[in-house]
Amino acid sequence: MALLSVLQYPDPKLRNKALPVTVFDDKLRQIVDDMFETMYEQNGVGLASIQVDIPQRILAIDVSDSRKEPLCVINPEIIHREGIQYEHEGCISFPGVYEKVERAAKLRLHAMDLHGKSFEIDAEGLLAVCIQHEMDHLDGVLFIDHLSRLKQERMRKKLEKIRRQTF
């Protein structure tokens, strides 16, 4: 296992689009292991492959309190959405900033597991938010894109300030 380096906004590579996974081999298992290790180390609830510069459609998710319920999602597709929720979101590529984003309240996800087997799950609450946020990454979409221009500007300024304090 190895920690991967996470791209930080505004790295243009965060705008790349990921391609479907077609080969389910040891190399894929290694990528997924490394993604989970990286996500747990960063205290995130989700990580998309694009954030670690791997342009394949892979998500590592764990919204449990125990941090011991990893959900590996490959080639995800939302096949049903219902309702609206409006909750604060953060992102490992935007450390230290949080903003409310409008998302579907409930969804049904169709995806594949590590072995290429299809599965479906119903999600709501934080898990539904996380799935939608991470799936956006696979298409080069960031949570800042869902905000008004004013809020985007405010978030950029806040990020600059945080970076000045950190480095």
| Min CB(164)–Zn ion separation in Å | 22
| Min CB(7)–Zn ion separation in Å | 10
| Min CB(91)–Zn ion separation in Å | 3
21: Cβ–Cβ under 8 A, 6 or more apart, which residues?
28, 56, 57, 58, 74, 75, 112
Distances (CA, A) of 18 to 14, 60, 65, 139, 150: 10, 14, 29, 6, 29
Considering the complex, state which of residue 11 and residue 120 has its C-beta at the smaller distance from Zn ion: 11
Binding residues vs Zn ion (CB under 5 A): 91
Considering the complex, state which of residue 37 and residue 42 has its C-beta at the smaller distance from Zn ion: 42
Residue with the two structure tokens 């990286």: 38
Active site (catalytic) residues: 134
Which residue's beta carbon is nearest to the bound Zn ion? 91
Considering the complex, state which of residue 47 and residue 74 has its C-beta at the smaller distance from Zn ion: 47
Q: What is the largest CA-CA distance in the chain?
A: 46
